[in-house]
Amino acid sequence: MPWSVWVVLIVLLASLNPYGSFVILVLCVPLMGAFSYVPLESLAATVSIAKAMGVKPIYVWPATTVFGAGLLCIRLALRKPENPFYSHAATLLLGFLLAAAISVHRLSGWAGI
């Protein structure tokens, strides 16, 4: 298995532990801070998407962006199979997104999550 799969497996295992979930969410804070202005421009769309997903509105746009970037990397990996960068990037982006989703679900009762 490539190294990116091992990294994702370690992060997924860490997200099953409450302390690991907390660390993963702390690592996600800069991305959420970068998108903190977006819900103010399209508040109605953000709230409706958040209600459909079952999360708070702060998580909608960072998750959508990471998911879109992961899909873009998958497409580039299929177009250029000789370059392993795109497949590693897709694995890491989608794996960390899954770990963050598990962390948000596990810690949903905590304050602010």
Of 28, 45, 37, which Cα lies nearest the Cα of 102?
A: 28
Mean pLDDT, contiguous 10-residue spans, the chain (113 residues):
90 91 87 72 80 82 90 96 94 94 83 61
Distance CA 87, CA 108 (A): 31
**CA distance to 30, 43, 52, 93, 110, per residue, from 39 (Å):** 16, 5, 16, 22, 22
Helix (H) or strand (E) holding 1: none
**Domain residue extents for the chain:** 3-106
Between CA 69 and CA 54 the distance in angstroms is: 22
pTM across the whole model: 0.84
Q: Are 28 and 19 in contact (CB under 8 A)?
A: no
* Other residues' Cβ atoms within 10 Å of the Cβ of residue 36: 11
CA 18 to chain centre: 17
pLDDT of 62: 86
Instruction: Give pLDDT, residue 71.
Output: 97
